[in-house]
Amino acid sequence: MMLGVNYLSNLRQRQSKDMANSPFALERRRADLMNDVIKTFRAALPEAAQTFRKSLRRRIVRARLRLTGADHDTRMRAERRLRGREQHDRVRRADAVIVSYPKCGRTWLRVMISRLCQQIYDLPADVVIEFDNLHHMDSRAPRLFFTHDTHIREYTGHWDTKVDYYDRKVLLLVRDPRDVAVSQFFHWRFRTKAWKKDMNDYPAHGADCSVFDFAREDTGGLPRIIDFMNLWAREKDRLRAHLVIRYEDMRRSPVETLAEIAAFLDIPADAAQIAEAVEYASYENMKKKEADQSFQSSGGRLKPGDAANPDSYKVRRAKVGGYRDYFDDAQLAEIDAMVTERLDPAFGYGASHPVSANIHPEDGTPR
């Protein structure tokens, strides 16, 4: 219900500004605001019910495990399996699934898609898509499940295939795994809670781990990222429909790439709406909105871990090829070789396919 509370606060601020407008404009604005309120609460009530049911299920499972004296590993497996069940349910109900490893630009894409829906379906500004919340506001808006594909296999037991997605429409968002590893290091260090590090099998909370050590780690670094990407590369042609989007291509040609994504997701956006969504999701605007915590229905996703620490922000550097800033020559040679030797070449990364060769590396869009 926090969405409704935040929206009412914004509503009062906007109404006070409208007092200086003409009576006709004020009445029209009030009607628009009332329409926004109705749509907001139409989404907030089902969202609150879903959150309550999910929280209740997790509490019951945890209580049962405590009563039976389950050890730590058993509790973690049960927690992952429960989350896998929840994710599997959403995969089945989604109009399309957007899959990515963490730190591949999912938040940026989510905000652009949200902005398209706000324009096309006349939805409240700054509301971020959360699976079906926009669909509850307007049934024409798609139900999009954004997932890191972390726990479904714990529930279904399908460890070596993507059979759980075969009859789905899937957008696979990828990024140079070396940039992913560095970004994931800062997320692990400054944003991820201790219990989540444990559940996701990352290096322990407070571990003395350099960015290079993290990048080489089997549990959180390049080996894990490469395995994730390679499995999807092998399985993607078995999907009912799929589209592979590279973060670097979104950086280089955001308007054209977003137009391709909108067409794939059956979002009827015109050129002006796409251009506006790209501008709205610019690095500067998203950085500002994260600092202000002005996005609605995004939980803790778009707020800094520590406002005084730029490395704790979700929108951090947005730099293509930025991993080179964190390693010496010998370290670069080792991780470049790992990517070249182990990653499926279909993605176009590796020493023989330097991603940044045709892309300006300066900051410009969020991760």
Local confidence pLDDT in tens for the 367 residues of the chain: 444 444 444 544 444 444 445 666 666 666 666 666 676 766 677 777 777 888 888 888 888 888 999 998 999 999 999 999 999 999 999 999 999 999 999 999 999 999 999 999 999 888 899 899 999 999 999 999 999 999 999 999 999 999 999 999 999 999 999 999 999 999 888 888 888 888 888 888 888 899 999 999 988 899 999 999 999 999 999 999 999 999 999 999 999 999 999 999 999 999 999 999 999 998 888 877 676 665 655 455 556 555 555 554 555 556 788 999 999 999 999 999 999 999 999 999 976 444 543 333 333 444 3
Question: For the chain, which residues make up each domain, given as ranges?
Answer: 71-358
Phi first, then psi, for residue 296 (nearest 5°) are -100, 150
* CA dist list (Å): 228 to 89, 101, 213, 331: 21, 7, 19, 22
**According to DSSP H, which parts of the chain are helical?**
2-18, 23-67, 72-93, 106-120, 133-137, 152-156, 177-190, 194-199, 211-216, 222-235, 247-252, 254-264, 271-280, 283-292, 329-342
CA-based nearest residue to 316, from 216, 201, 180: 180
Residues 6+ apart with CB under 8 A from 94: 131, 143, 144, 145, 168
Q: What is the pTM of this model?
A: 0.80
Burial label, 150 (beta-carbon count in 10 A; 0-12, 13-18, 19+): middle
Class of domain 71-358: alpha beta
